[in-house]
Structures are given as C-alpha cells and as structure tokens.
C-alpha cells in the first residue's frame, strides 16, 4: 500500500467540492507522490478569495509550497500536464492555486 501523504491546513475541508475538484486533487496528489513529496491543501471552499473565485463554487484549491520552493515551476508544469484541459495551475508564489474552469474546455 502506498503512502499518499495528503495533509490539510487546520480548518480545510473537502465538503462541498465538485467532482472535478476531487478528481483534480487526486491527480495533483499523484504528481506529488511520484516526486516523493507530501501535498498539503491550504484552502478549498474556506478562506478569503475574490468574489468571483472558483473556491466558492467548489472548483478550486490551494497547495502549500513551503517544501518545494526550489521546484515550484517544475511542479506547476507537471500539474498542468497531468490535469489537462479545463484546469488552470497558477504559481501564486506563497501557494499553488488550481482550479477547474469549464470555460476553458
């Protein structure tokens, strides 16, 4: 059995996430696992975001970058490739923002 190494910042919940987000989180976790890294979700539907944020729709999540400072861009590129069309991966410097945006299909 493999160690999936998924962690959560205090207060983060998966409640209310859409299937596309749950599938996307699993894909991101596979990328992190393949690199031997743990993945920490820092925000899903919780936290403060812009009024039009996909977080409130259950279609976005944020990933901690503390442990991957030297490889953030490589990880982001790998996440983009793994997630494919319809997903955006944005390096926000202090976290990676990932969202499913149906308009991108």
Task: Locate 63 and state its tokens.
Answer: 């990933």
Distance of CA 19 to the CA centre of its chain: 14
Asked whether residue 33 is assigned to any structural domain, the reply reads yes
Residues 30-74 pLDDT 10s: 999 999 999 999 999 887 878 888 998 999 999 999 989 899 999
- Nearest residue to 13 via CA among 43, 51, 49: 43
Q: How many domains does the chain have?
A: 1
47 CB contacts (<8 Å, ≥6 apart)? 55, 62
Question: Does 59 fall in a domain?
Answer: yes
Please report, for the domain that includes residue 95, its CATH number.
3.30.1380.10
Q: Which domain holds residue 97?
A: 6-104
Question: Is residue 32 in some structural domain?
Answer: yes
Position 74 in a domain: yes
Q: How many CB atoms lie within 10 A of CB 46?
A: 17
pLDDT tens track for 65-103: 998 989 999 999 999 999 999 999 999 999 999 999 988
Q: Is residue 20 part of a domain?
A: yes
Q: Is 86 helix (H, G, I), strand (E, B) or coil?
A: coil
Inside any domain, residue 1: no
In a domain, 36, yes or no: yes
């Amino acid at each position: 059995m493999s160690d999936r190494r998924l962690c959560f910042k205090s207060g983060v919940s998966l409640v209310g996430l859409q299937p596309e987000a749950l599938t996307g989180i699993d894909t991101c976790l596979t990328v992190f696992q393949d690199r031997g890294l743990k993945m920490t979700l820092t925000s899903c539907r919780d936290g403060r975001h812009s009024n039009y944020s996909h977080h409130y729709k259950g279609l976005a999540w944020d990933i901690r970058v503390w442990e991957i400072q030297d490889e953030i861009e490589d990880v982001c590129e790998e996440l983009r490739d793994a997630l494919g069309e319809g997903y955006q991966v944005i390096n926000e410097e202090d976290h990676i923002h990932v969202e499913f945006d149906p308009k991108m299909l």
